Structure 1
Amino acid sequence: MPLALAFALYASPALAQDGYYQTKTPYAPQQDPATYAAPPAGFQPVFTQLVARHGARGLTGMKGDAALYAMWRQAAAQDALTPLGRELGPDILALMQANALLGYGVAGIEQPGYGNLSQTGIAEHRQLAVRLLARLPALFAQLEQDAATAPRQLVTIHSGVDRARDSARFFTQSLLEHAPALAPLLYLPPAPAPYPQGRASGVQPTLQPDGVNRFLLYAHKLAPQTDRVTDRASPYFATYEASQAYQHYIRTKRLDTLTAAPARQPAAARHARQVLERLFTPAFLAQFDGGRTSYADTGSYTFTSADGKFTRTLTGSGKTAIRSVNAAATKLYELYAIAAGMRHEVAADFSRYMPADDARYYAAVADHEDFYQKGPSTTDSAGVTWRFALALREDFFREVDALASGDGRHAAKLRFTHAEMIIPLASAMGLQQALAPLPEATPYSYANNRWRGAQVSPLAANLQWDVYRNAAGQLIVRLLYNEKETPFQASCDGARIAPGSVFYDYTGLKACYGHVAAPSR
């Protein structure tokens, strides 16, 4: 496909910042590809690699939606709804049905239901693949030409979670639809094994399918029962230890204190009332006072597809509770945000229930929580929120190291993961818009910090390295973050091939990150 035609066919709308969807913001590239800098004379593309978050998805489970629907049903029974509020219940139920059936009838989705990619999420990765082809036509044309005689590999890995696996599948399907000669080059490497280590005699290790690498792409949630590493010589020992340290951190009272700060401010009650009094009567909302009422995700719901061939019955766990107006408004914001990426599945317009000023407030609250839980956090947190992503950062260097040593087996490495890895990776790489920790005494706010989830990790967020080589063997690298040419950490400015250039000499780049060449892959 000609480059210009590819960009025309797969252009995306401008990023919907005005919606304040935080990390549920649907994806759009952040730079017009026509403005990308041309590589210096004599340099040709020889390799590319990316890590991408999964695309737009549904809710991960029937939780807050069912709790909010229970609240709405009680209000309806008490005749405590405004005219707009009467429309909320059917819209919540429609969203629940769309999530329960999500992926039904879609080739490539193995188990329909909550947590799957939406049509928007599928399109995000299909389009991302086409833009990759269009950005590096010389590289992929050469790969197609050499596929039969000197094949190189398109290495693809993912976290093992369905939405990341499916994002990888739809991305590579799109790649091969537009460049079918690349099909023999697609390679899913064996998963790291055997893990867990150090288990009792007779317990078999957990074997993951080919293409899964939890240590690189699910490192925030490594579990003793599947991933324990006891051998200090293992390349994954440090990652496992860092993961355990992080999981301890997110359970600490210290973090709870940091993330709960917005709820203690007067703005919390004010915005909750602004949102909810448009939907429920003041007397109904007053029932929350003093803990007199609460609502939970209880009850069973049965949903059937339009063709009548697929039915799902879901029962709430009762573990998600709404005990305050603040909690109710927050749950409504979560539905508003997720619906932005489900517009093909749900006709309901949740923006009717979440005025822009309130949406901005709840996005800021979510950013506050993510800043401390997933982002840079505090200056004395010692990088606990991102050190488990160092192995992923090193994997990028390891791939280019192989090229530098003459190992050209890999033509591309494609990784698919989650916001919980994209956000810490941006911090681990020291990207200016991502790494700005604050003293614990200085609470995060939009006024003092430019960290925003919608920019750091929207749906399908991605970091890509394009690698070029000249006849002398010099390698240079360009970083694209959400498809925008982006500087590496500030200390690497000396590695730029010219002042202000977006291309970095690889040897200098490796040195500025303090990277020691890893053993050959």
Structure 2
Amino acid sequence: MLPRKLNATFVGTGLMWGAIALLAGCGESDKSDVAHTYYQTKTPYAPQQDAATYEAPPSGFVPVYTELVARHGSRGLSSLKYDLAVYNMWKKAEEDGALTPLGAQLGPDVLKIIKANFLLGYGVSGISTPGYGNETQLGITEHTQLAQRLLSRQSALFQAAASAAGSAPRQIVVVTSGVDRAVDSGAFFVKSLLAGQSALTPLVTYPPAPSPYPEGGKAVAQPAGTNRFLLYFHKLVAKTDAVTNTANPLYTTYQDSQAFQKWLTDPDLAAKQAAIQADTAAQAAGRAVLERLFTKAFVDKIAAGTYSFANTGSMTFASDDGKFTSTLTGDGKTGITDLASGGSLIYELYAIAPAMKAEAAVDFTVYMPQEQARYFAYMQDASDFYKMGPSIQEKGDVTWRMAQILEDDFFNEVDAIARGDLSHVAKLRFAHAEIVVPFASRMGLKNVLQQQPLATMYSYDNNPWRGDYVSPMAANMQWDVVRDGRGTLLVKMLYNEKETDFKAACDGARYAAGSHYYDYGKLKACYGHNAS
């Protein structure tokens, strides 16, 4: 548990600093100070339970099916923004002679981050287009090991499926969002699965993408194994995904996606995001970070608005062998306009650095003291909470309603098993935080679905939602299904590989008191699912 004692720098009238005082009552994702990890949704993945402690199936039940959805693994920065804006700030400080000894180290370290992102994935088998947004070596390892643990946990299930491949073949269905890092995560996962049991190779299948879409226009072909409606539902667009026929089962998902995207421009959301950034505690946290790197006079100019910086300009980097060169230009949309934004962009580099240890080998903890790391982690959580988490009570389910299609897909797969259709032995889905977060809300997981009234502000004191619990890198939900000789199905959920309860309202569906296995018939009734 983090201490309640506040750094004197932050004592004052800050709207949100009471939130950081500090993680008392946090719930699932509390960390001790010893861990020094305040990376929130960029937290590198680790399984949350020792597999040796998993509850065994009840007597007479054997594994019959398994499925998962997983976020892509640890990645680099998504684009040239935070890093270039910080570097431009650093260059101006260098010109002004305003660098502290620690600040002098910052520029070269930011350049290492930038170069690593420009070249990310170059020379790595399985990465087709090097650059920003790709998985790092750590991300590849995360999905490689996730597959190994699934294979170990379900070894009997997969061995039986492999041995039956000739007579009664069962499929391992693989589906992704179609976005590179999700596609790559799926590929590395499957590669690892087959390395562990090569006899599964003929079972792997990539179903056709939903088509033809957009309706009413020229159809846009999607590669096999792609399903944007299922795994990219936060960003469905008319150009590729328009659904105009109200009788189409995908019409509701498309409309829910449009509602979510409209939410992103809602004045109430904008007001919450602005309040997070403008709070006096956020400005104080930014000053504490910046004054370790730059002179007070330089920092004062940022505070006064005399100096501002953005991700403008072009940079070029080449691979060491000279065979790959990349030139990129910043779009100028990411800015440092005050102390809070200056500190928060350095926090973004602090948060991404652990994922890029193999590629950049920089330690940003020296630039982000633990006290400020905690505060900027809170700011990140608050922003994500309102944008794609449970959000504002008065806004209803706008941030997670679109995840209904994924909930239905999980249940539909088990429905097939229930009616004796064993054509699938597993379904593996690979997506993004913007899918995992709403899905966790949709499923009503403990400490995930507590909304805030519009009149209040999310804080660590009044809400248990934490990004590092809900969606670290490679975050995943898995359902293991077992069956007895009478055909009774039980389902157990693992969330980030920890045995996790379904929503509290479904406690009556447990197979036995305290068990993590749930009677499937009662479970789907509790969730209101109707077999399609």
Q: In 1, Cα distance between the equivalents of 2:453 and 2:314?
A: 46
2:186–2:429: 8 Å Cα contact kept in structure 1? yes
Corresponding residue SS for 2:130: coil
Q: How does 1:308-319 map to 2 (within 5 A)?
A: 308-319=322-333
Q: In 2, Cα distance between the equivalents of 1:136 and 1:499?
A: 24
1:103 pairs, out of 111, 116, 121, with 121
Residue 265 of structure 1, CA deviation: 2.3
Corresponding residue SS for 2:106: helix
- Is 1:417 equivalent to 2:442 in the alignment? no
1:345 pairs, out of 339, 342, 359, with 359
Residue 17 of structure 1, CA deviation: 5.5
Q: In 2, Cα distance between the equivalents of 1:299 and 1:484?
A: 45
Q: In 2, Cα distance between the equivalents of 1:304 and 1:381?
A: 48
Q: In 2, Cα distance between the equivalents of 1:411 and 1:44?
A: 13
Q: In 2, Cα distance between the equivalents of 1:313 and 1:54?
A: 26
Residue 360 of structure 1 corresponds to: 374
* Farther off after superposition, 259-268 or 325-334: 259-268
Superposed CA deviations along residues 362-420 of structure 1, whole A, max 9, x for unmatched, are 01011001111111112221100000001001000000001111111000000000000
Residue 466 of structure 1 corresponds to: 480
Superposed CA deviations along residues 153-183 of structure 1, whole A, max 9, x for unmatched, are 0000000000000000000000001100000
Residue 427 of structure 1, CA deviation: 0.4
Residue 208 of structure 2 corresponds to: 190
Residue 24 of structure 2 corresponds to: none
Superposed CA deviations along residues 84-106 of structure 1, whole A, max 9, x for unmatched, are 00000000000000000000000
AA aligned to 1:403 is: I
Measured at CA, do residues 234 and 145 of structure 1 come closer, stay the same or move farther in structure 2, by a change above 3 Å? same
* Farther off after superposition, 383-392 or 283-292: 283-292
The normalised TM-score by structure 2 is: 0.93
Corresponding residue SS for 1:50: strand
2:41–2:467: 8 Å Cα contact kept in structure 1? yes
- Is 1:147 equivalent to 2:165 in the alignment? yes
- Is 1:115 equivalent to 2:133 in the alignment? yes
Residue 60 of structure 1 corresponds to: 78
Residue 300 of structure 1, CA deviation: 1.8
Q: In 2, Cα distance between the equivalents of 1:66 and 1:355?
A: 22
Q: In 2, Cα distance between the equivalents of 1:228 and 1:415?
A: 22
Residue 440 of structure 1, CA deviation: 1.4
Residue 300 of structure 1 corresponds to: 314
1:88 pairs, out of 106, 109, 117, with 106
Superposed CA deviations along residues 290-346 of structure 1, whole A, max 9, x for unmatched, are 422211222221112122222212222222221112111111000110111111111
Q: In 2, Cα distance between the equivalents of 1:296 and 1:317?
A: 9
Q: In 2, Cα distance between the equivalents of 1:320 and 1:436?
A: 31
- Is 1:441 equivalent to 2:459 in the alignment? no
Residue 371 of structure 1 corresponds to: 385
Q: In 2, Cα distance between the equivalents of 1:217 and 1:266?
A: 38
AA aligned to 1:214 is: R
- Is 1:513 equivalent to 2:527 in the alignment? yes
Corresponding residue SS for 1:74: helix
Corresponding residue SS for 2:128: coil
Residue 272 of structure 1 corresponds to: 286
Q: In 2, Cα distance between the equivalents of 1:167 and 1:34?
A: 26
Q: In 2, Cα distance between the equivalents of 1:135 and 1:93?
A: 42
1:188–1:210: 8 Å Cα contact kept in structure 2? yes
- Is 1:132 equivalent to 2:150 in the alignment? yes
Q: In 2, Cα distance between the equivalents of 1:316 and 1:326?
A: 21
Structure 2's unaligned 5+ residue stretches are 1-30
Q: In 2, Cα distance between the equivalents of 1:115 and 1:127?
A: 21
Cα RMSD over matched residues?
A: 1.2
Corresponding residue SS for 2:479: strand
AA aligned to 1:238 is: T
Q: In 2, Cα distance between the equivalents of 1:194 and 1:363?
A: 42
Residue 10 of structure 1 corresponds to: none
Q: In 1, Cα distance between the equivalents of 2:501 and 2:36?
A: 26
Residue 240 of structure 1, CA deviation: 0.4
Residue 48 of structure 1, CA deviation: 0.2
Residue 148 of structure 1, CA deviation: 2.2
Residue 500 of structure 1 corresponds to: 514
Q: In 1, Cα distance between the equivalents of 2:376 and 2:310?
A: 21
Residue 286 of structure 1 corresponds to: 300
Residue 190 of structure 1, CA deviation: 0.2
2:284–2:339: 8 Å Cα contact kept in structure 1? no
Residue 261 of structure 1, CA deviation: 2.0
Superposed CA deviations along residues 457-487 of structure 1, whole A, max 9, x for unmatched, are 0000000000000000000000000000000
Q: How does 1:126-275 map to 2 (within 5 A)?
A: 126-199=144-217, 204-275=218-289
Corresponding residue SS for 1:19: coil
The normalised TM-score by structure 1 is: 0.95
- Matched positions, count: 501
Measured at CA, do residues 375 and 17 of structure 1 come closer, stay the same or move farther in structure 2, by a change above 3 Å? farther
Residue 32 of structure 1, CA deviation: 0.7
- Is 1:324 equivalent to 2:353 in the alignment? no
Residue 259 of structure 1, CA deviation: 2.2
- Is 1:382 equivalent to 2:400 in the alignment? no
Q: In 1, Cα distance between the equivalents of 2:416 and 2:478?
A: 17
1:40 pairs, out of 49, 58, 63, with 58
Corresponding residue SS for 1:380: helix
